[in-house]
Amino acid sequence: MLRVTLLSLFFLMTFSCTAEVPANKELAESAEAKSAEVISEAPSQQDPMGQLVTIRGIISNPQETYISIELPNGPFSTNVTTYGSMVNPDGSFLMQFPIEGPRPGIVTHFGMDFPGFFEPGDDMVLNFSALNLPASVQWQGKGSVNNSLLQRFNLEFNSLRSAGKSATVSPQIFKETVTELREDKIAFVERGKAEGPTFALVNYIQARIDYEWGSELFDYPIAYGLANNVDHTRETPPNYYLFTDILKLDDANAALLDGYEGFISDLVTFKFRSSTGASAYDNDNYYADKYDYAKNMLTGETRFLALTTILMDGPNYGKVENIMPKYSDFIGMNPPDRYRKAVDAVYNVASKLSAGQPAPDFTIKDIDGRPFNLKQLKGKVVYIDFWATWCAPCIAEIPPSKRLKSMFSEAPVEFVYISVDEDEPTWRNYVIGRNLPGIHINIPGTLSDIGQMFDLSGVPKYMIIDKQGNIADSNAHRPSDDRIIDDLKEIMNR
């Protein structure tokens, strides 16, 4: 899913709402009448607390007997909450579902969809032709002002493409173009306020405008550099990234935007890197230090979102032992359940791979057909290299790895190479054909049993096991990094 965003404050106050009359008045009146008939056949739920959303209407030319609404469960959730209704032979339907606060959603029929925005107590008539989506969508009733405004916003701007999308114009021109488009979107919303949308809807659209604007600005210089084979840092003017200083990051509603967590992660990474001075910074503490930076930089929902992303990335791409103390700090902040559950799922596995923990126990045949187990190497330091023949960075490390192994040829250090190639013959031919030294074993992908034991998310990855069979470094330096020499010596002399 990682980007930047200008967010507004999220209020649960509302403007006064007025019903919006659809262009086809007869269709709307027919829908209300038929919806009333549906309710009499399938009585609606009682809603004393005003937490239900009720949607009824008519589908012209329905393509199937089902309509549904999907509500995202927020970042770090792989599923959505779906509510549905059968469509009667005359095209009428009725849906009711509970929500605790304003939520964006997707209305779906026969694989076609369009966005909606729902708040507790909404009671709307929804009419559309399944042969003309989304242009035929008409909303009426309480909540219709929000959805009509959102619909028109999407129709006007979703088909637009920013000039320079082909990455041919300079970053400065691209910035001017997308900033002008952002201003047009803001002006549209300002005009729409006269219709009486709720604060929640206005702030949701504003968050989306700024998130999309910031994401495009973040991504473009790199895309421009790749497309034109130039150093994008030289082509990007010094004031290009000033937009990061005007983005507000305290809107809980923005967390429901698809991909927003990635956007916030990019913003935090950019600002953190800018504060450290990349040339002198020690990356071993990268995730722990970035956690502290984000904690001080952000507030509210956005802070929990950013910290969760960092804590989930840390064990995969950094040293588990360095980020583990931040887990306790995070839990002490009493995060919302959705963030705590996401972090817990990672740390229940990662905690077993931290320095000082026993190395995973497994038995597998090596390239020569002999049984191999890490326990048989107790008394020696073990440098594990997870790699694959299709991984260019892995292959680039082979010459330095040969030199490193030769350097420790007389020392109690073993080099174990674990390939994640799913094509076993390709791996075998590569190792044998190049006469690669060391102990070689193959596992069928990162999702294999052994891959999951080591919580592999990608390659290359390196790990050091001490003489006692315990993990000494959960994410060791690469063979090409001179620091690995002192690391191995220090662990060897413990």
Query: pLDDT tens digit string along 439-465?
Result: 999 999 999 999 999 999 999 999 999
Does the pLDDT of residue 47 top 60, yes or no?
A: no
Average pLDDT rounded to a whole number, residues 277-303: 87
In order of 152, 256, 342, 459, the CA distances from 310 in angstroms are: 37, 18, 12, 19
Element at 116 (helix H, strand E): strand 112-118
Q: Which part of the chain is CATH 3.40.30.10?
A: 363-492
Q: Give dist(CA 445, CA 210) in Å, integer.
A: 39
| Least confident residue range of 164-173, 225-234, 321-330, 403-412 | 164-173
Average pLDDT rounded to a whole number, residues 194-219: 91
Does the pLDDT of residue 20 top 70, yes or no?
A: no
For residue 381, the SS3 value is: strand
- pLDDT tens-digit readout, 383-401: 999 999 999 999 999 999 9
User: Closest Cα partner for 268 from 246, 242, 240, 249?
Assistant: 249
| Least confident residue range of 103-107, 259-263, 411-415 | 259-263
Q: Give dist(CA 236, CA 59) in Å, integer.
A: 50
Q: What strands lie across the sheet with 103-109, from one edge to the other?
A: 80-86, 66-72, 103-109, 112-118
Helical pair 300-317 and 337-350, crossing angle rounded to 10 deg? 10
Give residue 17's pLDDT.
30
User: 266 falls in which pLDDT band (50, 70, 90)?
Assistant: confident
Give residue 278's pLDDT.
57
Does the pLDDT of residue 380 top 60, yes or no?
A: yes
- pLDDT tens-digit readout, 314-360: 998 999 999 999 999 999 999 998 899 999 999 999 999 999 999 99
CATH superfamily, with its number, for domain 363-492: Glutaredoxin (3.40.30.10)
Single-letter amino acid code for the residue at 297 = M
> What is the share, in percent, of the chain residues with pLDDT greater than 90?
68
Q: Which part of the chain is CATH 2.60.40.1120?
A: 25-142
User: 211 falls in which pLDDT band (50, 70, 90)?
Assistant: confident
Give residue 77's pLDDT.
76
To the question of domain 25-142 being in CATH 3.40.50.300, the answer is no
Average pLDDT rounded to a whole number, residues 78-103: 93
Strand-pair category, 80-86 with 461-465: unpaired
Average pLDDT, the chain: 86
Average pLDDT rounded to a whole number, residues 39-46: 45
Cα 150 to its chain centre, rounded Å, is: 24
